[in-house]
Structure 1
Amino acid sequence: MKKFLAATFLLVMVLAIGFFIFAPSIFEKQTNMIDGKPLPEITAEAQTLHDSLMIVDLHSDTLLWKRKITDSVDYGHVDLQRMQQGNVGLQIFSSVTKTPKNQNYDSNSAETDNITMLAIAQLQPIRTWNSLLERQLWHATKLDRAVAASDGAMVAISTPSHVDGLAMARTRPEKPIGVMFSAEGLQTLEGKRENLDTLYDSGMRMAGLVHFFDNELAGSMHGEEKGGLTDFGRQIVRDMEDKGMIVDIAHSSHETVADILKIARRPVVSSHGGVQAVCGVNRNLTDEEIKGVAATGGLIGLGYWDGAMCDTDPKSVAKAAKHIRDLVGIQHIALGGDFDGAVTTRFDTSGIVHITQALMEAGFTETEIRAVMGENALRVLQQGLIPLKDLPKQAVEQTSETGQ
């Protein structure tokens, strides 16, 4: 009997160890995928232009997964080597801390959570198992560790001077990649205003108020109520603008978007998504919302998955870019791929040259392509990361008028 119990215990231990070692990567391989559909051959002209660009992507969820950004792997969408291959100059990494069971675009309860089990399976620190704030701070730590382990290949971006320095550094042979920390939903504040200071101190410089469910700040486009900003949400938007944290309206309900645009004093972004005119899913922006974002001096980051474009063809991204350009101007378009965000795409970040080529084929000029691929994002980051108190008096007056 003792031998049987010992053997059973040993088997359970082996299975448990195997689960914790292999399950997280197996799950990711089934979640962040490449669809394998045909892509055109890249022309020499497109590659030459692409190699000269400063490329900025506003949204990736790589921090959610167990692997390190500095690890080179053959699954998922983003790692250091593939960013280098794709000539990415600055990548914003978002922190996903909670997703509902049976997640969908139409209606989700805030009562369930998939990420708790993922945190346990990944053997994250125990403090992250029951605290969304600690889960987000762990993601910040992961990003800091990746920067430290990269031997200068990645640099943290949190101030306008960092943005300026990165642009200069990218002209040198070593071409470091800037990384910045953001949030997919501020349910991590856990109802406490002072926790925004904690997140800012961790390096966070952009945040969406909501993700796939309504929270204490606002209604989600995918929530049950889909309401607007709460009083707490209004206060947090003001605090973010004061600090120099960029407000992200991705996943926000139409009512929340309207409320944010009414009070915005700084550039607002939609970090990842699409436009209703090209793909009529509920999470995409209407023409009026595009105009509202443009009025703040902000950006629409275009994604590459079918939920944003209704397919994964790079030509659809160019089509969405053309719609925004013709509606409000080229200066309001950026990239927001949502790589590693539990999405299926046509290519990973090493293949982002396909967006460059699609824009060329759609008739965009070189100047326009440079703007879309990164220069617009650099401009908004330089503006948006300045704390309000440090802006010149005239600029403060102008931003206050915009928010009225």
Structure 2
Amino acid sequence: MGVSYLKVGLGAIVVIAAAGYGIIRSGYVAEYVDNSRNIVTAHQPYSIDKDAQALHSKLRVADLHNDVLLWGRDITKASETGHSDLPRFDRGNVGVQVFTSVTKSPRGQNYKNNSSDAFDNITLLGLVQGWPTDALNELSRRALLQAARLYALEKSHPDKVKVIHNREELEVVLEARDNGSKVMAGILGTEGGHALDGNINNVNLLYDGGLRLMGLHHFFDNKLGGSLHGLSKGGLTDFGQDVVRLMEEKEMIIDLAHSSPAVIEDVLAMSTRPVIVSHTGVKGACNTPRNLTDDQVRAVAAKNGLIGIGFWAAAACDISPNGVAKSIAYAVSIAGIDHVALGSDFDGSVTTAFDASEFAVVTQELLNLGFSEDQIAAVMGENAIRFFLENLPQGERGEETLASSD
């Protein structure tokens, strides 16, 4: 999720919500916030030549980070709100999408220093969306609420979405797509280990609720250790080490996006499984506080991990399709072709120059930069697909999920 905060009169929302006005119940304020935070810059349709379009239509596109479940938007219908919905995923040829729950966001959010005690914007968003009391009070329940939205989509549109819990389920979806199916594999995760509410047993709770990926941090320090954007910049705590061990035991994927350099170093030193950095940039292409150093990129790649390149300004600097492609190219030059993927951060309170329907423009720009078809296929999806087929849970262990939207 990109840096931002809800630009709505916060006190006014609380007063209106408390009064129970119809505008809140009908979701107008939530829709306003969604529209104001998830922006696609105005542009003419991108020119995609025949070779690029033909190649893109054959790709298995996979994206490591999307926050659309936060907003409560009906994504079954085509819309101009935000970056993604089911029709736009289809037009962009997205076959595998990680959907991440966002459970806390500090007021005044920035890339340098945030306090965990700052006022939480997600609580307000939950109020205007009418979240139940448990989700307003418990971060773990917020993660499960957002997961339930994907299960509801799967139930209402089984020909469009399949929630993935294990390698075997992903293989089935990929085979179906090879035979003409339009079903998209959805993998559930959460952005930040604060969603555990400081209780290691909630690793099991989130796993049983279908989540197979967890970022350790978001914009502030938590019980696991220091955030890249927090106050301490510390490493893994004893609790954080215990969580990492349990996640590895359960074959949950660890996401180091937003973690401090010290946490990244600690996790890479103790982990026995590959990790991802789901949505980031690289300082060599875009020198901002948000991005990874070349040494960090090499270290993640050395452990067979995956770097997801983001599409917003702090990740790519130049958010044009050409700018995003150049960031991808730089990451490949450091990590190698097998360790770079897409990490859009679509619908993560960011501004981008294209949406999920326009992934083909990235294919075009990579061709323009001289990437081969095999290299483009790797970055656009095959690296992520291989990673998930190797690292998601296997067999019965992967099916110990509630798999319910109730």
Normalization by structure 1: what TM-score? 0.91
1:65 to 71, 80, 91: 71
Note closer, same or farther for the CA distance 1:19–1:130 as it changes in structure 2 (3 Å cut).
Answer: same
Question: Deviation digits for residues 242-266 of structure 1, max 9, x if unmatched?
Answer: 1111110000111111111111211
2:40 to 27, 34, 38: 34
Partner of residue 80, structure 2: 74
Partner of residue 196, structure 1: 203
Q: 1:47 aligned to 2:53?
A: yes
Note closer, same or farther for the CA distance 1:317–1:159 as it changes in structure 2 (3 Å cut).
Answer: same
1:114 to 116, 121, 133: 121
Partner of residue 227, structure 2: 220
Using the TM superposition, give the Cα deviation of residue 87 of structure 1 relative to its aligned residue in structure 2, in angstroms: 0.5
Using the TM superposition, give the Cα deviation of residue 338 of structure 1 relative to its aligned residue in structure 2, in angstroms: 0.1
Asked if structure 2 preserves the Cα contact closer than 8 Å seen for 1:242 and 1:388, the reply is no
Cα distance in 1 for partners of 2:102, 2:218 equals: 8
Using the TM superposition, give the Cα deviation of residue 163 of structure 1 relative to its aligned residue in structure 2, in angstroms: 1.8
Partner of residue 5, structure 1: none
Q: 1:374 aligned to 2:381?
A: yes
Using the TM superposition, give the Cα deviation of residue 295 of structure 1 relative to its aligned residue in structure 2, in angstroms: 1.2
Cα distance in 2 for partners of 1:45, 1:34 equals: 26
1:141-290 equivalences under 5 Å are: 141-290=148-297
Partner of residue 394, structure 1: none
1:338-349 equivalences under 5 Å are: 338-349=345-356
Asked if structure 1 preserves the Cα contact closer than 8 Å seen for 2:165 and 2:212, the reply is yes
Asked if structure 2 preserves the Cα contact closer than 8 Å seen for 1:70 and 1:149, the reply is no
Partner of residue 11, structure 2: none
Specify the SS of the correspondent of 2:382. helix
Cα distance in 1 for partners of 2:395, 2:329 equals: 33
Question: Deviation digits for residues 287-310 of structure 1, max 9, x if unmatched?
Answer: 111111111111000111111001
Using the TM superposition, give the Cα deviation of residue 14 of structure 1 relative to its aligned residue in structure 2, in angstroms: 10
Cα distance in 1 for partners of 2:395, 2:74 equals: 35
Give structure 2 stretches of 5+ with no counterpart.
1-15, 398-406
Q: 1:320 aligned to 2:327?
A: yes
Cα distance in 1 for partners of 2:46, 2:61 equals: 21
1:383 to 387, 390, 403: 390
Cα distance in 2 for partners of 1:257, 1:315 equals: 29
Give the letter for the 1:97 counterpart. T
Asked if structure 1 preserves the Cα contact closer than 8 Å seen for 2:99 and 2:187, the reply is yes
Question: Deviation digits for residues 259-289 of structure 1, max 9, x if unmatched?
Answer: 1111121111000011010111112111111
Partner of residue 25, structure 2: 20
Task: Please say which of residues 186-195 and 15-24 is displaced more in the overlay.
Answer: 15-24
Tell me the C-alpha RMSD between the 2 structures.
Answer: 1.9
Note closer, same or farther for the CA distance 1:205–1:97 as it changes in structure 2 (3 Å cut).
Answer: same
Asked if structure 2 preserves the Cα contact closer than 8 Å seen for 1:241 and 1:387, the reply is no
Asked if structure 2 preserves the Cα contact closer than 8 Å seen for 1:242 and 1:389, the reply is no
Cα distance in 1 for partners of 2:17, 2:248 equals: 52
Specify the SS of the correspondent of 2:178. coil
Alignment coverage as a number of residue pairs: 380
Task: Please say which of residues 17-26 and 214-223 is displaced more in the overlay.
Answer: 17-26
Specify the SS of the correspondent of 2:98. strand
Normalization by structure 2: what TM-score? 0.90
Give the letter for the 2:21 counterpart. A
Cα distance in 1 for partners of 2:71, 2:227 equals: 24
Cα distance in 1 for partners of 2:17, 2:280 equals: 44
Task: Please say which of residues 52-61 and 253-262 is displaced more in the overlay.
Answer: 253-262
Cα distance in 1 for partners of 2:385, 2:17 equals: 52
Give structure 1 stretches of 5+ with no counterpart.
1-10, 391-404
Cα distance in 2 for partners of 1:101, 1:20 equals: 24
Cα distance in 2 for partners of 1:351, 1:228 equals: 38
Give the letter for the 1:29 counterpart. N
Using the TM superposition, give the Cα deviation of residue 56 of structure 1 relative to its aligned residue in structure 2, in angstroms: 0.4
Using the TM superposition, give the Cα deviation of residue 386 of structure 1 relative to its aligned residue in structure 2, in angstroms: 3.2
Give the letter for the 1:358 counterpart. E
2:301 to 274, 294, 318: 294
Using the TM superposition, give the Cα deviation of residue 321 of structure 1 relative to its aligned residue in structure 2, in angstroms: 2.0
Task: Please say which of residues 173-182 and 37-46 is displaced more in the overlay.
Answer: 37-46
Using the TM superposition, give the Cα deviation of residue 347 of structure 1 relative to its aligned residue in structure 2, in angstroms: 0.9
Note closer, same or farther for the CA distance 1:292–1:236 as it changes in structure 2 (3 Å cut).
Answer: same
Asked if structure 1 preserves the Cα contact closer than 8 Å seen for 2:144 and 2:209, the reply is yes
Using the TM superposition, give the Cα deviation of residue 142 of structure 1 relative to its aligned residue in structure 2, in angstroms: 1.0
Task: Please say which of residues 124-133 and 92-101 is displaced more in the overlay.
Answer: 124-133
Asked if structure 1 preserves the Cα contact closer than 8 Å seen for 2:167 and 2:395, the reply is no
Partner of residue 397, structure 1: none
